[in-house]
């Protein structure tokens, strides 16, 4: 019967002759970890990922000096309302607002020089805690409007203003600004939760 070590050929035969040294080498081979790292091993892959994350973090620290700055919360609310410009709101509550102040209805305390009373109108409309302020100025061939919505005295920028067939989103600081050849008789404001229709305005 052939000895099993012959299966490994000549080298194995040599090892067979030096059994003591061979056993020692075998034992060392068993305890010693391989030096070469395999790139496909999960551990090394993980190290690579960590290196990539570190590089990303270092890159953003060293190359982009300014941090990401957020616009104010009011502005973000305004941007959130953009879909309402194109789709009708599914508002939860509906309210009616009334005229609180109208400069055309009130007598001016002091007569303003150079400005005819019919050329400028200030209106204040309210519905509970919400107030809509409008200033209308008649230009040569059209009207120029500026408006703002307040919620309990603070500027509120999340409302869409519907005036004379136009749907408007406020710009920075919450101002609505538009021009038109016609004056709006019906004004509405709405957001995702609430819908307010104001009483009819007479411009004659």
- C-alpha closest to that of 148 among 128, 126, 175, 116: 175
* Interface mask toward other proteins for 158-187; x: CB under 8 A: -----------x-xxx--------------
CB of 170 to other proteins, least distance (A): 9
Applying the rule CB under 8 A, the residues between 61 and 100 that interact with other proteins are 61, 63-64, 66-72, 75-76, 78-80, 82-83, 85-87
> Is residue 41 classed as helix, strand or coil in its secondary structure?
coil
CA distance from start to end of the chain: 123
Q: Which is nearer to other proteins, 7 or 68 (CB)?
A: 68
Q: Which is nearer to other proteins, 154 or 193 (CB)?
A: 193
- Give the whole-angstrom CA distance, residue 143 versus residue 201: 15
Stretch that binds other proteins, among 11-19, 46-54, 94-102, 136-144 (CB under 8 A): 46-54
Q: Which is nearer to other proteins, 40 or 181 (CB)?
A: 40
Furthest-apart CA atoms within the chain: distance in Å: 130
- Give the whole-angstrom CA distance, residue 202 versus residue 179: 18
Q: Which is nearer to other proteins, 32 or 87 (CB)?
A: 87
At 107, list the tokens: 């007598």
């Amino acid at each position: 019967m052939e000895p099993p070590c012959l299966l490994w050929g000549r080298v194995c035969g040599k090892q067979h002759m030096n059994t003591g040294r061979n056993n020692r080498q075998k034992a060392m081979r068993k305890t010693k970890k391989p030096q070469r790292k395999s790139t496909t091993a999960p551990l090394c892959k993980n190290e690579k990922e960590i290196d990539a994350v570190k590089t990303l973090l270092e890159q953003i620290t060293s190359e982009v000096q300014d941090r990401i700055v957020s616009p104010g919360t009011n502005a973000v609310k305004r941007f959130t309302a953009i879909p309402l410009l194109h789709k009708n709101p599914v508002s939860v509550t509906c309210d009616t607002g009334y005229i609180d102040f109208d400069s055309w209805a009130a007598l001016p305390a002091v007569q303003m020089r150079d400005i005819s009373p019919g050329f400028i109108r200030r209106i204040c409309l309210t519905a509970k805690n919400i107030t809509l302020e409008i200033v209308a100025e008649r230009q040569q061939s059209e009207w120029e409007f500026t408006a703002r919505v307040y919620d309990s005295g603070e500027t509120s920028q999340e409302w869409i203003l519907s005036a004379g067939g136009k749907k408007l989103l406020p710009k920075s600081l919450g101002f609505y600004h538009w021009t038109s050849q016609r004056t709006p008789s019906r004004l509405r404001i709405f957001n995702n939760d609430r819908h307010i229709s104001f009483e009819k305005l007479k411009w004659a």
